[in-house]
């Protein structure tokens, strides 16, 4: 439950090493969150130490997005440690490379299993818990790449398009339960995931995405665009005829 001051008290980060996810959690802890669960595939001790130094109790759990049969146990373990979950941040995924996916379709299917299938499983398990407790927010990271899928990264974009639709449908399913889904649609984020890639126009940072996400949680937003000026731009892009879209720079 939220504390007496109305701040988030407990947070579960699915993708406990995510640069954006950890930036969000750190901001929530600075605002008063005191119980944090980092669910990650691999080591997350360094992040846990940072959060403990900010005053949080931290639990580390193993989480593999590609193993949906384990996701229910992860949510149960998080609840055992934290009690009610005020915020669940689903910030896991892989970017990959379009040329590599086309050369190795099996790797493309595996990335889709993480970027879409993993979110479906984890999201449904998390939503079930939020519905049962009657409150809480699930933060799902979509992308502008899924708003209008481009030839240059259509495997990744297709996964994000599917995820965006899933998250909106899940939010509709939770309506009236006290729980909610917030979809975050960042543009190009300069960080570890995109290291070595030339930044796209209106590129943003993990910190800026985190700031916008926390504001969205406070405001009760359903959708957050980062930066906000991408919203009208992609509204226009969705309306472009396909013949024009195909000629757009990659």
Indicate whether 250 belongs to any domain: no
Task: Report pLDDT digits (tens) over 108-123.
Answer: 999 999 999 999 999 9
Domain count, the chain: 1
Q: How far apart are CA 94 and CA 244, in angstroms?
A: 29
- In-domain check, residue 97: yes
What pLDDT does residue 239 have?
83
Closest CA to 59 of 125, 13, 90: 13
Assigned domain for 130 exists? yes
Which regions in the chain score pLDDT beneath 50?
1, 3-5
List the domain range (segments joined by +) for residue 91.
10-245
> What is residue 242's predicted lDDT score, i.e. its pLDDT?
84
Task: Tell me the whole-structure pTM to 2 decimals.
Answer: 0.92
Kindly report, residue by residue over 5-27, the tens digit of the pLDDT: 357 999 999 999 999 999 999 99
Give pLDDT, residue 31: 95
In this structure, is residue 197 part of a structural domain?
Answer: yes
CATH code assigned at 143: 3.40.50.720
Locus of tokens 């996810």: 21
Going by C-beta distance under 8 Å and a sequence separation of 6 or more, which residues neighbour residue 168? 181, 183
Residue 3 forms part of a structural domain: no
Q: Is residue 1 part of a domain?
A: no
89 lies in some domain: yes
Residue 4 lies in a domain: no
Which pLDDT belongs to residue 5?
Answer: 38
pLDDT of residue 250: 59
Give the contacts of 223 (CB within 8 A, at least 6 positions apart): 182, 183, 184, 185
The catalytic residue positions are: 156
């Amino acid at each position: 439950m939220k504390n007496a001051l109305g701040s988030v008290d407990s947070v579960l980060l699915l993708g406990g090493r995510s640069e954006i996810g950890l930036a969000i959690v750190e901001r929530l802890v600075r605002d008063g969150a005191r119980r944090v669960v980092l669910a990650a595939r691999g080591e997350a001790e360094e992040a846990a130490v940072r959060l403990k130094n900010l005053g949080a109790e931290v639990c580390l759990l193993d989480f593999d997005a590609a193993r949906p049969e384990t996701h229910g146990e992860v949510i149960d373990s998080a609840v055992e440690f934290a009690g009610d979950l005020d915020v669940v941040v689903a910030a896991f995924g892989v970017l990959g490379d379009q040329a590599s996916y086309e050369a190795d379709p099996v790797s493309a299917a595996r990335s889709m299993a993480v970027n879409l299938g993993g979110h479906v499983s984890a999201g449904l398990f998390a939503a079930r818990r939020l519905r049962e407790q009657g409150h809480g927010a699930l933060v799902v990271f979509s992308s502008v790449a899924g708003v209008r899928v481009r030839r240059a990264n259509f495997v990744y974009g297709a996964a994000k398009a599917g995820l965006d639709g899933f998250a909106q449908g899940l939010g509709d399913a939770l309506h009236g339960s006290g729980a909610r889904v917030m979809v975050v649609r960042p543009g190009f984020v300069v960080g570890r995931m995109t290291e070595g890639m030339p930044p796209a126009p209106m590129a943003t940072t993990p910190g800026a995405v985190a700031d916008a996400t926390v504001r969205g949680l406070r405001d009760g937003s359903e959708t957050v665009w980062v930066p906000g000026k991408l919203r009208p731009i992609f509204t226009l892009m969705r309306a472009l005829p396909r013949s024009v879209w195909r000629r757009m720079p990659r």
